Structure 1
Amino acid sequence: MSDFLTHECGIAAVRLRKPLEYYYDRYGSALWGFNKLFLLMEKQHNRGQDGIGIGCNKLNVPTGEPYVFRRRSSERDALSTIFRKEIKGLFKMGRKTGLDPKDPAVVREHFNFGGEVLMGHLRYGTSGEFDDGSCHPYLRRSNWPTRTLMVMGNFNMTNTGTLNHALIERGQHPVFGTDTQTVLEEIGFHLDEAHTDIYRRLRDENVPGSEMPDLISKELDLQRIVAESAAPWDGGYSICGAVGNGDMFVMRDPNGIRPCHMLITDEVIAFASERVPLMTVFEADQKDVKSLDPGSVVTIKSDGSIHDGQFAAPRKYTPCSFERIYFSRGNDPQIYRERKAMGAALVDQVVEAIEGPMENAVFSFVPNTAETAWYGLMDGLRVYRRQQVRSEILEAQANGTLDEKTLDDLILRNWPRGEKIAHKDIKMRTFIAQEKGRDLLVSHVYDITYGVVKPEDALVALDDSIVRGTTLKKSILKILSRTSPRKIVVCSTAPQIRYPDCYGIDMSELGKFIAFQAAVALHRKAGRQSVLDRVYEECKAELKKPAGEMVNRVKGVYEAFSADEISEEISRMVTPEENEWDGEVQVIFQTIENLHAAVKGPCGDWYFTGDYPTPGGYATVNAAYVRWFDGIGGRSYDLPL
């Protein structure tokens, strides 16, 4: 994804099933679980770089001793820094006290993260300021372990405003307006209620106070608490939480929008946003890593017992297709195959766009995450050329014109030529992300390979997706044009992004989408401002309806145009105005039909089609249009519905 766009968070959780002594004896380290948490997070570092957080619950801690711990940081290189500091602190304590920092008993007593329940979060923020306080996990403390709660997740709720209003109506005083705080407080409220009911019954039965903590802990029903808490939620989420007594839960939204995977062995129960990190870190087979079912919650009691149940009925399965296109690491075997298929699906459009023989074209990719799809495109082009050669050989043979020269020309010429043209400077990108004057520097994020593209060549550059087109216009096309090709063709493995996302990706402002800008420009060129005005009134009318009755009125903006017409306008819009190169730019997009053909199984496509999986999506898209029309920026899915 060449556009600068934040997205997705990552979660990792490790629940040890053996005492620390077991891991010390077998693996030589009482920090086995802590190290596995680090590796799970490192293998998912692509999912979050704004900040990180880690948490730990220790089981069966003596009264008066701390049992829950947390560290968070939004500093650069926070992941390695936090883990390194914690381990250094352990060994520094050992030098001061003379205790052996490798001893499992010392680790458990003196190391904050020497517990059985470990959780970690990688943050890509879609709201709020990027400071330590905005990093997960969030913590709700109490002097009752069974009322202490730590929560983290990969999610967005579309109805945060409504949820916060419900807290206020209940009599609570929410301090923060984020969906994370809302989720924490909602689960915390129902946890408090369950705890209080059990406590009062035990008190009325004259149970001694010293016996109450264990009895309350045994009776807490996390599945019921989660089900009651999640009943009003509208969004996409995978959420992990831990109660101070050591009970733990992991849940996934009823539509399966956000991903979550689980591995269970004799030694550990582990969770992660992606499958491959679990396979790699624990050396597990693919068949042993299970994807959580939509609407399911896995609960693990403090005694280690596991229950996998439903907190809500599963709905239509609509996993986010951007996981397949871009977010998840490409070494997952299924995702790797699908990304190659997405590249191959563009062959017919690419062949038509280069307007000439393949020998007069160079095929490349930008950015590096598009490389897997590029392999698929190259495979597809070679298959296309082989079929073409076969037909030409048969035709020449039938005409009696097949000779050695003709055969050499057919076999040796006109094959697709792949080259590495664009090189991304990661350090420059990081600097620009923090620099207010980034527009002045963005054209230097990429560099090119000189001397490869000839003046008669068409240069084809494959991208994962094109969202805003900003980097394409201000950086990529300016740099690619320095190779002086006769034409530049930019291919998106994703279809045109026409509608906001409200389930985890930072794509909520409708007016920033290049496809939407193109449709608006076409209307205004044709003198059809009245269409835009009509859609505005229709969106306002929809927002007065109950969320479950709304429809997507923004579709009316696109109805007058074909996908090709919008692509042509996008091509014009992203062509740099000031450029010595005078060649043609063409932008082509994946078709929705080909996307579904490439992705095996269900595939959420609301940002392409406008067909949302939850009622909050329709509220979001209509609100986004109203905000754009009124000139109001910012997110459109955190208002009361």
Structure 2
Amino acid sequence: MSDPIRHECGIAVVRLKKPLAYYQDKYGSALYGLERLFGLMAKQRNRGQDGIGIGCCKLDMPPGAPYMFRVRSTKSAEAIGEVLADEMKEFNRIARRVNAERKEMRDETGADYTPFEEDPDAIKREFELAGEINMGHLRYGTSGAFGKGSLHPYIRRSTWPTRSLMVMGNFNLTNSGELNQIMMRRGQHPVFDTDTQTVLEEIGFQLDEAHTDLYHKMRDSGLVPLEEITKHISEQLDVTQIIRKSADLWDGGYTIAGAIGNGDFFIMRDPQGIRPCHMYEDDEVIAFASERVALMTVFEVNEEQINELPAAHVCVIKSSGHMTIAPFTQAQEQHPCSFERIYFSRSNDSVIYRQRKALGEQMVPQLIEAIGNDWEHTVTSFIPNTAETAYHGFLDGLRYTRRLEVKQAIVEMFQSGSFDETKLDDLVLRNWPRSEKIAHKDIKMRTFIAQESGRDQLVSSVYDITYGVVSPNDNLVVIDDSIVRGTTLKKSLLRILARTNPRRIIVCSTAPQIRYPDCYGIDMSELGKFIAFQAAIALLDERGMRHVVKETYEACKEELLKPKAEMTNAVKAIYAPFTDTEISAKVSELVYPQNTQWKGDIHVIFQSIEGLHKALGPDYGDWYFSGDYPTPGGFATVNRAFINFFEGKGGRTYDTLL
């Protein structure tokens, strides 16, 4: 993706089924769970650049001993190995101290001692991240601040284990403001920070209510000794019911995981299945991750052994180890995020790999039309590196199309009785697609983490080109995953590609035109920054239709007065007067690089929504392209986004919804 948009967050969970001593005996490490957690996080490091967080909950700790811990770091996920190294330094420091104490005791008594590294009970007691519930989070924030305090997991502490809570997730709620108002009417004082805080406080409130009800019943019955109440509350705590009550009014896309201080764990997925959640279970662990291949690689298992947590379901693992998966609300029509397949998830998942290749293949008919089938004067490539898989599919489609042409021509030659070997040689050997490596990323850095103000210069420095393979008579075709703002395309990438001096540069986006904001996890919320939106506004101005902008503004305000269930997307009126081709043509004009000596043409081609669904499947979400949102909160978001644009307000739309 040439434009900087923020990824989905990544989650990883390893819940051990055995005592730490089991893993010490079998694998030589009581930190088996932590090691596997870091493995899952490392395999999903593409999902977080703001920082990482690790949580640990220990089972069956004696009264007075801490049981819930958290480590957070603003180091990016690229530096996850450094974070692990820091924690192991702490482990080794503890080991030196404990071993020194034990050696001193041995010298005094003459008794043998077990080294700390081989003593799982001591490791669990002394080292904070040694426990049965291991939770990891890779944050790519879409709301709130971006400091250490905003990193997951969030913790809500109490002297009662059954009221202590740790939460993390990959999500956005569209109605956080509304939920905060509900809390205020209860008499609570929520912090208007992020929707994570809202989620934490709502689950915490329901947890408090359930705990208090159980406590009063047991205390008033007189049948349970006071010193045993905590144990009985823990056993009877209905986590599934707590989640049902908590999520009753939530609107958004989410995978949320949490640990309660008594050792109960839960993980839940939104009713539309927007956010991903995969799980693996064997005799030793139950593990969860945002991406299937992370589980496959870390636990060395095949695809069939990984399952998806069903939408609208919550998986609860009690401290006893008993697991249930049950619905917490009614499942809705499924709309998994298509950007997971286009860009966010790693492409070594077999299904995602095939889907990305199919996205590239779907671009072939439009490109053939654009170049007039002149492959002899066309060079194909890709930029950036994340578009490589789609590019391979694109080449497969080109070759297949060309083979069909050759086959048809040969058949016609034989049918007409005019076989000509010279013509056959010309037909077979000429006019085939040419594939070249044009852009090279010669510095290993992730350009999307740079500050936007300096990003264009950074991209220019990171990429270099292959000289001498493109002639002034050639079309240069490059595949891109998607085009959001077009800023980097205009200011950096097209300027770089123009150095090859082609007759024309054709940019093929494997994603359709991004016309509307996302509000379920991706940081794409400001309408005015979308290049497709800018193109539509420019066309309205050119054709004397500026009144449509004012009319749409008024229509958006009217929509926001309606109940959410009755809202529609009034912003569609901005695009209604124009065809997809007209929008693409205007985008081509808007991204033309300035202040270069190159005088060739720019042609931007976008995937069609029909092509998207042919490649991915009919159920995948397309609201950022079509404007058809899967939840009521989406329609509130898009209408508010246009109002903000019209009134000149920046910022994320879902931060302002109340």
Q: 1:155 is matched with which residue: 163, 166, 171?
A: 171
Q: 1:31 & 1:103 partners in 2: Cα distance? A: 11
Cα shift readout 1:515-540 (whole Å, capped 9, x = no counterpart) = 00000000000111111111111001
TM-score between the two structures when normalised by the length of structure 1: 0.98
Once the two structures are TM-superposed, the CA of residue 397 in structure 1 deviates from its matched residue by 2.8
Matched length: 641
Cα shift readout 1:411-456 (whole Å, capped 9, x = no counterpart) = 2222111111112355565597147444444433322111221222
Q: Which residue of 1 aligns with 2:225?
A: 208
2:30 matched to 1:14?
Answer: no
Question: Match of 2:654, SS?
Answer: coil
Q: 1:466 is matched with which residue: 472, 483, 489?
A: 483
Q: 2:603 is matched with which residue: 575, 579, 586?
A: 586
Q: 1:345 & 1:551 partners in 2: Cα distance? A: 30
2:138 matched to 1:122?
Answer: yes
Q: 2:184 & 2:354 partners in 1: Cα distance? A: 48
Cα shift readout 1:178-233 (whole Å, capped 9, x = no counterpart) = 10000000000000000010011111122222201110000100100001000011
Question: Match of 2:370, SS?
Answer: helix
Once the two structures are TM-superposed, the CA of residue 398 in structure 1 deviates from its matched residue by 3.4
Q: Which residue of 1 aligns with 2:62?
A: 62
Q: 2:339 is matched with which residue: 290, 309, 322?
A: 322
Q: Which residue of 1 aligns with 2:215?
A: 199
Q: Which residue of 2 aligns with 1:268?
A: 285
Q: Which residue of 2 aligns with 1:508?
A: 525
Q: Bigger CA drift: 488-497 or 412-421?
A: 412-421
Q: 2:182 & 2:137 partners in 1: Cα distance? A: 27
Cα shift readout 1:113-168 (whole Å, capped 9, x = no counterpart) = 11000000000011222211110000000111100000000000001111111111
Tell whether the 8 Å contact from 1:489 to 1:587 is kept in structure 2 after alignment: yes
The letter of the residue matching 2:39 is L
Q: Which residue of 1 aligns with 2:108?
A: none
Cα shift readout 1:373-394 (whole Å, capped 9, x = no counterpart) = 1010000000000001111112
Q: Which residue of 2 aligns with 1:105?
A: 121
Q: Please give the residue correspondences for 1:164-175 in structure 2 after superposition, counting only pairs within 5 Å.
A: 164-175=180-191
Tell whether the 8 Å contact from 2:456 to 2:492 is kept in structure 1 after alignment: no
2:572 matched to 1:555?
Answer: yes
Tell whether the 8 Å contact from 1:44 to 1:274 is kept in structure 2 after alignment: yes
Q: Bigger CA drift: 453-462 or 497-506?
A: 453-462
Q: Please give the residue correspondences for 1:257-336 in structure 2 after superposition, counting only pairs within 5 Å.
A: 257-336=274-353
The letter of the residue matching 1:131 is G
Tell whether the 8 Å contact from 2:457 to 2:492 is kept in structure 1 after alignment: no
CA gap 1:436/1:493 in 2 versus in 1, 3 angstroms: closer
CA gap 1:531/1:448 in 2 versus in 1, 3 angstroms: same
Q: 2:449 & 2:54 partners in 1: Cα distance? A: 28
Q: Please give the residue correspondences for 1:467-546 in structure 2 after superposition, counting only pairs within 5 Å.
A: 467-546=484-563
Cα shift readout 1:258-291 (whole Å, capped 9, x = no counterpart) = 0001111111000001111111111122111111
Q: 2:168 & 2:597 partners in 1: Cα distance? A: 51
The letter of the residue matching 1:262 is M
Cα shift readout 1:83-103 (whole Å, capped 9, x = no counterpart) = 211112111211222142243
Q: Which residue of 2 aligns with 1:410?
A: 427
Tell whether the 8 Å contact from 2:447 to 2:458 is kept in structure 1 after alignment: no
Q: 2:413 is matched with which residue: 378, 385, 396?
A: 396
Q: Which residue of 2 aligns with 1:186?
A: 202
Q: Which residue of 2 aligns with 1:88?
A: 89
Q: Bigger CA drift: 89-98 or 243-252?
A: 89-98
Unaligned runs of 5+ in 2: 100-114
The letter of the residue matching 2:2 is S
Q: Which residue of 2 aligns with 1:619?
A: 636
Q: 2:62 & 2:79 partners in 1: Cα distance? A: 32
Q: Which residue of 1 aligns with 2:397?
A: 380
Unaligned runs of 5+ in 1: none
Q: Which residue of 2 aligns with 1:606?
A: 623
Tell whether the 8 Å contact from 1:51 to 1:78 is kept in structure 2 after alignment: no
Tell whether the 8 Å contact from 2:49 to 2:449 is kept in structure 1 after alignment: no
Q: Which residue of 1 aligns with 2:160?
A: 144
CA gap 1:289/1:121 in 2 versus in 1, 3 angstroms: same
Cα shift readout 1:469-502 (whole Å, capped 9, x = no counterpart) = 0110011100000001111000000010100000
Question: Match of 2:435, SS?
Answer: coil
Cα shift readout 1:38-79 (whole Å, capped 9, x = no counterpart) = 010111111111100000000000111110010001124552
Q: 1:404 & 1:118 partners in 2: Cα distance? A: 69
TM-score between the two structures when normalised by the length of structure 2: 0.95
Q: 1:4 & 1:445 partners in 2: Cα distance? A: 15
Once the two structures are TM-superposed, the CA of residue 600 in structure 1 deviates from its matched residue by 3.0
Q: 2:192 & 2:556 partners in 1: Cα distance? A: 29
The letter of the residue matching 1:20 is L
Q: Bigger CA drift: 352-361 or 572-581?
A: 352-361
Q: Which residue of 2 aligns with 1:73?
A: 73
Q: 2:218 & 2:368 partners in 1: Cα distance? A: 75
Tell whether the 8 Å contact from 1:8 to 1:124 is kept in structure 2 after alignment: yes
CA gap 1:480/1:566 in 2 versus in 1, 3 angstroms: same
Tell whether the 8 Å contact from 1:432 to 1:442 is kept in structure 2 after alignment: no
Tell whether the 8 Å contact from 1:165 to 1:640 is kept in structure 2 after alignment: no
Once the two structures are TM-superposed, the CA of residue 407 in structure 1 deviates from its matched residue by 1.8
Q: 1:102 & 1:490 partners in 2: Cα distance? A: 59
Q: Which residue of 1 aligns with 2:585?
A: 568
Q: Which residue of 2 aligns with 1:52?
A: 52
Question: Match of 1:101, SS?
Answer: helix
CA gap 1:479/1:430 in 2 versus in 1, 3 angstroms: closer
The letter of the residue matching 2:31 is L
RMSD: 1.4
Tell whether the 8 Å contact from 2:163 to 2:261 is kept in structure 1 after alignment: yes
The letter of the residue matching 1:41 is M
Q: 1:560 & 1:524 partners in 2: Cα distance? A: 12
Q: Bigger CA drift: 602-611 or 202-211?
A: 202-211
Tell whether the 8 Å contact from 2:637 to 2:657 is kept in structure 1 after alignment: no
Q: 1:430 & 1:71 partners in 2: Cα distance? A: 27
Tell whether the 8 Å contact from 1:159 to 1:639 is kept in structure 2 after alignment: no
Q: 2:430 & 2:487 partners in 1: Cα distance? A: 37
Question: Match of 2:577, SS?
Answer: coil
Question: Match of 1:561, SS?
Answer: coil
CA gap 1:435/1:603 in 2 versus in 1, 3 angstroms: closer
Tell whether the 8 Å contact from 1:159 to 1:638 is kept in structure 2 after alignment: no
Tell whether the 8 Å contact from 1:240 to 1:250 is kept in structure 2 after alignment: yes
Q: 2:473 & 2:231 partners in 1: Cα distance? A: 78
Question: Match of 1:370, SS?
Answer: helix
Question: Match of 2:329, SS?
Answer: coil
Once the two structures are TM-superposed, the CA of residue 359 in structure 1 deviates from its matched residue by 2.2
Once the two structures are TM-superposed, the CA of residue 246 in structure 1 deviates from its matched residue by 0.5
Q: Bigger CA drift: 284-293 or 262-271?
A: 284-293
Tell whether the 8 Å contact from 1:161 to 1:177 is kept in structure 2 after alignment: no
Q: 2:468 & 2:167 partners in 1: Cα distance? A: 54
Q: Which residue of 1 aligns with 2:388?
A: 371
